[in-house]
Amino acid sequence: VPQRDNVVTSSRTGVATVTAGSAVGIVGGGQLARMTLQAADALGLEVTVLAEHPTDSAAASAARLLIGTPTTPEAMIQLADQCGVVTFDHEQVDLGILEDLERRGHLVRPGSRTLQIAVDKAAMRQRFAEAGIAVPRFAPLGQGGTDSERALAGIATFADEHGWPVVLKAVRGGYDGKGVWPVADRRAAERVCRNAHQHGTALLVEEAVEITAELAVLVARRPDGRRVAWPVVRTVQQVGICREVLLPAGLPPDVESAATALALEVADEIDSVGVLAVELFWAGDRVLVNEVAARPHNSGHWTIDGATTSQFENHLRAVLDLPLGDPSATAAAVASVNVLGGPEGLDPRDLLAGALDVPGAHVHLYGKAARPGRKLGHVTVCGDDLDDVRGRAWDAAIALGTPAITTEGDQRS
């Protein structure tokens, strides 16, 4: 019986022929790529994944796979040559390579100019502030961001004006709470600055916003600017990691409409194409843009089971310049709870029976090796009552080995 050789090889001959003509190439092999593949497969679209490792979440389930590093030109050129449009699972990209691909006439969506802003928190804050988009009070620590002394001086000036505590953030590369340091005083700031200096990490400083709730709005946007927004959701973080996503967000109508308006404004401002996730702070009488991610996002996983069109399908539609699907929720209440690796390192795939026993639990597992605290999947439950669906989603996530949320509270801003 002949068999597809599922082992990664260095042979290129013939293979390029098979994958040539993939509609979409995805940079990165994480769970976002994996769920995008699922949506693509339903639409009959062929997708090639560029993953670093054959064991990556999307690599293990992709029929068309390149193994390579997205910060090397060779890998990116090979992907672009095989695909009609290049898009992303993560932002760990080299903007110079993307600009080069664009100059060669490849479609890169979102484009390098959008990503330039999305990957640099200082540039993002600056750009939004200039455009009149509400953001937390902040100060870039300038080119001296990696110079411990100058950074500290900048922080002190900022704190003199706005008071302690403040929040320090790495300008690039932070995610899931990494690269975010709330500091109570100058001494704590010194420790962060020294450490950042050692790692060459540029910082910015911003006010410690007193958050009423964290929100997220996802926008899918086509190259010509047509766009749709999914309903506002409330996200619950702990130690910087998203634990649950809740709909409805339970907001006063003016907060809800402000959040949606801000997200659409941001999408237009940075000319996003594909899905843009806008994370917001609701802080008393203010709604502020916190971060953006120019790709599908954890705060939108609920849309697979709870919206007419999922974020993954609309991301594909948008980057292919196809009509966008209806983002409406299909249920009055939707809760998504992330499946995180527990301290015992149990594989949630071995615990499926318990989770599938929970009525209405939509279980999504990413095929990743189990490690404590690692995002291994999510569970979504849809229904009429938020308390009910939230309870069931937690029951299933805990059955899969997820540690229960502790009462320590959220350690970041």
Could you list the residues that contact its own copies (CB under 8 A)? 1-12, 14-16, 18-19, 34-35, 37-38, 41-46, 54, 60-68, 74-75, 78, 304, 308, 317, 322-326, 330-331, 348-349, 352-353, 356-357, 359-361, 363-367, 377, 382
- d(CA 325, CA 320) in angstroms, rounded, equals 13
- d(CA 294, CA 272) in angstroms, rounded, equals 7
**Residue 179 or 327 having the CB closest to its own copies:** 327
CA within 13 Å, CB half, 263: 30
**Residue 14 or 343 having the CB closest to its own copies:** 14
CB of 328 to its own copies, least distance (A): 9
**Residue 5 or 285 having the CB closest to its own copies:** 5
CB of 22 to its own copies, least distance (A): 10
CB of 330 to its own copies, least distance (A): 6
CB of 49 to its own copies, least distance (A): 9
**Residue 159 or 333 having the CB closest to its own copies:** 333
**Residue 10 or 406 having the CB closest to its own copies:** 10
The type of residue at 197 is H
**Residue 97 or 171 having the CB closest to its own copies:** 97
CB of 225 to its own copies, least distance (A): 17
DSSP string, 39-103: HHHHHT--EEEEESSTTSTTGGG-SSEEE--TTSHHHHHHHHHHEEEEEES-S---HHHHHHHHH
Collapsing DSSP to helix, strand or coil, 392 comes out as helix
**Residue 238 or 314 having the CB closest to its own copies:** 314
**Residue 71 or 212 having the CB closest to its own copies:** 71
CB of 329 to its own copies, least distance (A): 12
- Altogether, the residues listed in the chain come to a count of 413
Cis amide prior to 248 (ω within 30 degrees)? yes
CB of 112 to its own copies, least distance (A): 21
**Residue 6 or 143 having the CB closest to its own copies:** 6
CB of 190 to its own copies, least distance (A): 44
Cβ neighbours of residue 200 under 8 Å, at least 6 residues apart? 146
**Residue 41 or 410 having the CB closest to its own copies:** 41
Closest CA to 299 of 355, 250, 232: 232
DSSP string, 103-143: HTT-EESS-HHHHHHHT-HHHHHHHHHHTT-----EEE--G
CB of 379 to its own copies, least distance (A): 11
Cβ atoms < 10 Å from Cβ of 17: 10
Q: Burial code of 103-139, b = ≥16 C-beta within 10 A, e = fewer?
A: eeebbbbbbbebbbbbbbbbbbbbbbeeeebbbbebb
Collapsing DSSP to helix, strand or coil, 183 comes out as strand
CB of 184 to its own copies, least distance (A): 41
- d(CA 240, CA 169) in angstroms, rounded, equals 12
- d(CA 85, CA 319) in angstroms, rounded, equals 7
Closest CA to 184 of 203, 168, 201: 168
**What CA–CA distances, in Å, run from 84 to 25, 47, 48, 137, 316?**
7, 10, 10, 41, 12
H-assigned helices in 271-385? 303-306, 311-319, 352-356
- d(CA 267, CA 218) in angstroms, rounded, equals 9
**Residue 15 or 346 having the CB closest to its own copies:** 15
CB of 174 to its own copies, least distance (A): 27
